[in-house]
Amino acid sequence: MKAGRKPHKDVDRYPSGEIVKEQQGERPEQVRSVVVMQRQKFHGAGNDDDAKDPWYGFPLGRMRKWAVNAASDSEGISDLQYRAIMEYITARHRYCLIYGIPSPHPKALEIGGVRGTSTAEAPGDDEVIEARRRYNGARSAILEYSVEWMRLIDRCAMDDESLGRKDLGGIRCGANILVRHFGLTRL
């Protein structure tokens, strides 16, 4: 007979062999219910199904959802405006990556970075010029009309949770300029 106590059978274990103890934190159902309640309270999600919709998880999505729910683009942003802002966000992100500018997005994580150096392949000259042209061109197009509209579009890019219906007019104006700048058309 072996010395020591008999091992537990039929229990979950970590790879190290340690027994998995019952989770002390909140269960996923509890976390989901808090998220649903917050979206209903602060972001105008009507019922539980609306609140579970991923579009309510970020400000730009909420603005798009307002237009869809109202069946009128005057209540939110149109699909074309949404696509234009997303195109700007993509151009901005690419520009920041190429020039080594840390992302201003609060949720950003440098996946390819190790101690400040990137493992990504260096972009070619044409790619650098194109990224600079797209980003600077989009910024210049909006800044030609209003600095405030540019600030609102940048706040959309950073998922600023304080954006709301009061900011919708400026965001729509900035998005319309981006639609023209990027040459987007309806599908």
Which tens digit of pLDDT belongs to each residue from 97-112? 888 777 666 555 555 5
Distance CA(120)–CA(131), nearest Å, equals: 16
Do 85 and 66 belong to one domain? no
Do 58 and 124 belong to one domain? no
Confidence of residue 114 (pLDDT cuts 50, 70, 90): very low
Residue 45 is predicted with a pLDDT of 64
Residue 174 is predicted with a pLDDT of 94
Is the whole-model pTM more than 0.75? Answer: no
- Indicate whether 44 pLDDT > 90: no
Do 65 and 132 belong to one domain? no
Number of structural domains, the chain? 2
76, 94, 111 - which closes a domain: 76
Q: Does residue 16 form part of some domain? A: no
Q: Does residue 101 form part of some domain? A: yes
21, 45, 76 - which closes a domain: 76
**Measured in whole angstroms, how far is the alpha carbon of residue 48 from the centre of its chain?**
22
Task: Quote the domain boundaries for residue 48.
Answer: 29-76
Q: Does residue 148 form part of some domain? A: yes
Confidence of residue 118 (pLDDT cuts 50, 70, 90): low
Q: Is 171 helix (H, G, I), strand (E, B) or coil?
A: helix
Do 65 and 81 belong to one domain? no
What is the token pair recorded at 119?
A: 């493992």
CA dihedral sign, ordered 146, 149, 155, 161: positive
Do 148 and 129 belong to one domain? yes
Q: Does residue 12 form part of some domain? A: no
